[in-house]
Amino acid sequence: MIDPASVGRVWLRNAWVFRGRWHYGILPNFFEPVFYLLGMGLGLGYYVSTGGAFGGDYLTYIAPGLVAASAMNGASFETTYNVFVKLHFGRIYDATIATPVGIQDVTVGEASWAVTRATIYGGTFLIVTLFFGVAVGWHLIPALLAIVLIGFAFAALGLAFTSVVPTIDLFSYYFTLFLTPSFLFSDIFFPVAERFPPAAAAIAEFTPLYRSVQLMRGVLTEGGGPVAGDVAYLLLFGTALLAFAVWRMRVRMVV
């Protein structure tokens, strides 16, 4: 029912659009991590880690989580605003599904492109951390795979949300009430369980960004913890939500 060649052509359309404007997109992708690592890692981190907290190196503590968050943002922008505009304002999917490409191919194709964008975002951040001495060469392959998986989970979540919202205004709920708290309470900047009651920490630990940060720390940090649980969580989470989005997009488009 899903045709891989058609999925690839939907991906290709997005790649063509990106090819025409990548230089606008890449530069902010590069500077964002530089600013974060300078400001929060070296600036704020000086005061935070004075006295030995975070092993005296706050930058190294926050960098893996920031890589994960960057992959999350890349996938989220693609699958929320961009997909919504194509769906409702440009109506380009109406034209696409009148060809042999089906709506299910469009949905999976958009997910695959969002994973690509997440990999570009997260990958750029990762490379910048090399220069700050956080990542080392042999981390790159597992870290890139982790970025792809995080991108997949958030692409599926974004598509699932986009497939049910009636107006573009509701995306501010997604960003402000879901992604922002995820960013703040997913162990990127501090261990949530040490500062909040167990019940609150348990909620945080169940969120996809928290699992993503654990995964990224696991692959980037010397002697990082086991990651199999996080990998399984993100795979299941992404697969279930992508299946939901495929179904909802069909309900929406085939009437």
Q: Which of 59, 68, 101, 204 binds another protein (CB under 8 A)?
A: 101
13 binds another protein (CB under 8 A): yes
251 binds another protein (CB under 8 A): no
Q: For residues 1 and 228, which CB has a smaller minimum distance to another protein in the complex? A: 1
Q: Minimal CA–CA distance to 213: which of 244, 242, 172, 182?
A: 182
Query: What are the DSSP calls for 8-44, one per residue?
Result: HHHHHHHHHHHHTTHHHHHHHHHHHHHHHIIIIIIII
Binding mask 35-74 for another protein (x = CB under 8 A): ----------------------------------------
232 CB burial (10 A radius; 0-12, 13-18, 19+):
exposed
What is the Rg, in whole angstroms, of the alpha carbon atoms belonging to the chain?
19
Q: Which of 17, 27, 136, 184 binds another protein (CB under 8 A)?
A: 17
Give the integer Cα–Cα distance in Å for 105 and 12: 12
6 binds another protein (CB under 8 A): yes
- With tokens 């999976």, the residue in question is 108
Interacting span for another protein (CB under 8 A) from 100-108, 125-133, 152-160, 171-179: 100-108
DSSP 223: T
Q: Which of 12, 130, 202, 243 binds another protein (CB under 8 A)?
A: 12
What is the three-class DSSP state of 196? coil
- With tokens 């005061």, the residue in question is 47
- With tokens 């982790």, the residue in question is 146
Q: For residues 113 and 185, which CB has a smaller minimum distance to another protein in the complex? A: 113
Q: Which of 31, 42, 50, 99 binds another protein (CB under 8 A)?
A: 99
Q: For residues 240 and 254, which CB has a smaller minimum distance to another protein in the complex? A: 254
Both structure tokens of 247? 């179904």
Interacting span for another protein (CB under 8 A) from 93-101, 203-211, 212-220, 226-234: 93-101
Closest contact distance (angstroms) between CB of 60 and another protein is 40
Listed in sequence order, the residues at least 6 apart from 123 whose beta carbon sits closer than 8 Å to its beta carbon are 144, 147
Closest contact distance (angstroms) between CB of 198 and another protein is 48
Residues of the shown chain interacting with another protein in the complex, contacts defined by CB under 8 A:
3, 5-6, 9, 12-13, 16-17, 90-92, 94-102, 253-255
